[in-house]
Amino acid sequence: MPGYYQIMDYSNGVRNFSANSPVDKDIRVIKEDKNTWRIIPGKNSSFSISYDVYSDKKFVASNFLDTTHGYIVTAATFMYIEGHLDIPVTLKIMPFTGWKDITTGLDRVVGRINEFTAPDYDILYDCPILIGNLQELPSFEINGIPHRFLAYNPGIFNHDKFISSLEKTVSAAINIIGDIPYSNYTFIGIGPGYGGIEHLNNTTVSFNVDGLDKPGEMIRMLKFLGHEYFHNYNVKRIRPFELGPFDYNMENKTNLLWVSEGLTVYYEYLIVKRAGLMSDDELLAGIESNMNTSENDAGRHYQSLSQSSYDTWDDGPFGNKSGGTDKSISYYEKGPLIGMILDFSIRNATGNRKSLDDVMRFLYRQYYKKLHRGFTDAEFQQACEDIAGISLSNEFEYVYTTKEIDYSTYLSYAGLKITELTDSNTGKRKLTISRQDDLNPKQKLIFRSWSGN
């Protein structure tokens, strides 16, 4: 499942596999390995295959089906012909009795009911499908491009207020890159469950929020949705070399999930802040919270940020906390802090004429638009250094080694300071970020531009 960096045992859900041909009675099926079914036709004839898929888990990367709704994870459901991921696909859905709605990022086949098409399997696997009686929240357009929100059982809250905030969040994300690369975008709320996964023109998110009108809950949700939305740029289009085209049969390992996930966490704070939906204090509190989790993780002495990206297939998305001694970290926690350090370093070196936003725009134009490929570890660092106009080798040591982070230096570039206490009972470090009292003009400029004030 692209976007979920764990091996999912999807083939284990396949039952009753059969191959059928009206003219070939000798057709046979051999289950060649855990993940491959080989059809041996006796004659040179066409055939069809049929199988059931067990669907019982309420999770964005798993199939779910009951009498109320169905969520189809296409990568978990539709088999491909080995060596032929590039062929076009047509899909016909027959909804359960009484179900009126289908939503997916797939294109509809013009003139056909409940038929969808994809130019290849990569696009098919990028478009999960939600079926049932769905609620459509108010839609909005940005630069003439429609953005929709469809959900199963979204909960009770003020739809207009929520969508107005979501629109501001999406606009703030678009402003960072300056281009909208899709012709329509859909937020797909799969109801109660957990997780969110990004796609090229849609995201599927667990979404069932009765308390959404409470301010803290609204900010939490906007950060979550802003994160998944920003991924349409960072990881779906601005991507590490290894993350596409995918090998669906094995791990797709990269050192750069700290960029794809960590910087997306960093940008979720900035997007919601620049959308005007969060205060300075809430922005700093978000970063501070990452900092405290990261600095109290014993694994930071053992595993670098790049290693945590590469090893996530073994360690799990948040590091391996099991087995007593914790020797791993989470790129979701340390990654955004390194994003901030790179951002402040670039801003400081250029008198705030450049920032990490320029790096993201450069990667988008150079590797996605122009070269149609991902970037390597060295190309990412080079992009940061070219834009900063200085070497950032000290800063990239925080990526490739376990060196202790000198937060004070980097925070001071934006007129911020850090204080530290140690809890005498737990031994835990408590780090607090606050504004310095007297800021020089450069610090003022950097803070204002960074926070979008």
Q: Which residues bind Zn ion (CB under 5 A)?
A: 261
Phi, psi of 101 (to 5 degrees): -120, 145
| Nearest distance from C-beta of residue 230 to Zn ion, angstroms | 9
Residue type, 47: F
β-strands 145-151, 185-189 pairing: parallel
| Nearest distance from C-beta of residue 348 to Zn ion, angstroms | 28
Reference 168, options 260, 273, 242, 88; nearest CA is 273
For Zn ion, the closer of residues 154 and 262 by Cβ is 262
For Zn ion, the closer of residues 126 and 261 by Cβ is 261
For Zn ion, the closer of residues 380 and 410 by Cβ is 380
| Nearest distance from C-beta of residue 259 to Zn ion, angstroms | 11
For Zn ion, the closer of residues 203 and 352 by Cβ is 203
For Zn ion, the closer of residues 227 and 274 by Cβ is 227
Residue 133 falls in which region: left (phi positive, over 0), alpha (psi -120 to 50) or beta = beta
| Nearest distance from C-beta of residue 309 to Zn ion, angstroms | 13
| Nearest distance from C-beta of residue 422 to Zn ion, angstroms | 32
For Zn ion, the closer of residues 41 and 317 by Cβ is 317
Q: In whole angstroms, what is the distance from residue 311 CA to residue 331 CA?
A: 11
| Nearest distance from C-beta of residue 231 to Zn ion, angstroms | 6
Q: In whole angstroms, what is the distance from residue 262 CA to residue 259 CA?
A: 5
Beta bridge partners of 52: 15
| Nearest distance from C-beta of residue 234 to Zn ion, angstroms | 9
Cβ atoms of 239 and 214 within 8 Å: the answer is no
Residues near 20 by beta carbon (within 8 Å), at least 6 away in sequence: 27, 47, 48, 49, 50
For Zn ion, the closer of residues 261 and 333 by Cβ is 261
What is the DSSP code string of 327-364? ----HHHHHHHHHHHHHHHHHHHTTTS--HHHHHHHHI
Closest residue to Zn ion, based on beta-carbon distance? 261
What's the Cα-to-Cα distance from 108 to each of 32, 89, 117, rounded to whole Å?
35, 12, 6
